[in-house]
Amino acid sequence: MVKSGSSVITWVYFIVNKCQFLVKGSFFILNDLCRVNVLLFLARFKPDNAVIKRSIKPIALILSCLLLASCSSLKVELRDWPANWPSESYFQAVYDRDQANQADQSYAEYIVWVKRFYSGWVFYPSGWDGMVEQLLATKEDPVLQAWFRQEMLALGARISSEWAKDDNHRLINSRHLLNWSDAVRRSVAQGQEEWLLAEINQDVAGLLNGSITASSIEEKRYFSRSSDGDERDDEFDF
Q: Does residue 238 belong to any structural domain of this protein? A: no
Distance CA 81, CA 85 (A): 8
pLDDT mean over 225-231: 47
The domain in which residue 189 lies consists of: 88-216
**Cα three-residue angle 126-83-156, rounded to 5 degrees:** 50
Do 54 and 171 lie in one domain? The reply is no
Buried b (16+ CB within 10 A) or exposed e, 186-222: bbbeeebbeebbebbeebbeebeeeeeeeeebeeeeb
pLDDT-derived band at 123 (thresholds 50, 70, 90) equals confident
Which residue has better confidence, 143 or 6?
Answer: 143
Whether pLDDT at 183 is above 60: yes
pLDDT-derived band at 80 (thresholds 50, 70, 90) equals confident
Global pTM value: 0.65
Do 98 and 197 lie in one domain? The reply is yes
Among residues of the chain, what percentage have pLDDT more than 70?
61
Q: Does residue 63 belong to any structural domain of this protein? A: yes
**Cα three-residue angle 168-101-107, rounded to 5 degrees:** 120
pLDDT mean over 212-238: 67
Distance CA 62, CA 59 (A): 5
Whether pLDDT at 202 is above 70: yes
| 125 close to 82: Cβ distance less than 8 angstroms | no
Q: Does residue 221 belong to any structural domain of this protein? A: no
Q: Does residue 232 belong to any structural domain of this protein? A: no
Q: Does residue 127 belong to any structural domain of this protein? A: yes
**pLDDT reported for residue 198:** 96
pLDDT mean over 174-183: 94
Do 110 and 209 lie in one domain? The reply is yes
Whether pLDDT at 210 is above 50: yes
| Closest to 153 measured CA to CA, from 184, 118, 194 | 118
Express each pLDDT in 24-66 by its tens digit. 444 444 444 444 444 333 333 434 444 444 445 555 555 544 5
Q: Is 175 buried (19+), middle (13-18) or exposed (0-12) by CB count in 10 A?
A: middle
Total number of domains in the chain: 2
Do 68 and 126 lie in one domain? The reply is no
Amino acid at the residue 169: H
Do 92 and 209 lie in one domain? The reply is yes
Q: Does residue 78 belong to any structural domain of this protein? A: no
Among residues of the chain, what percentage have pLDDT more than 90?
54
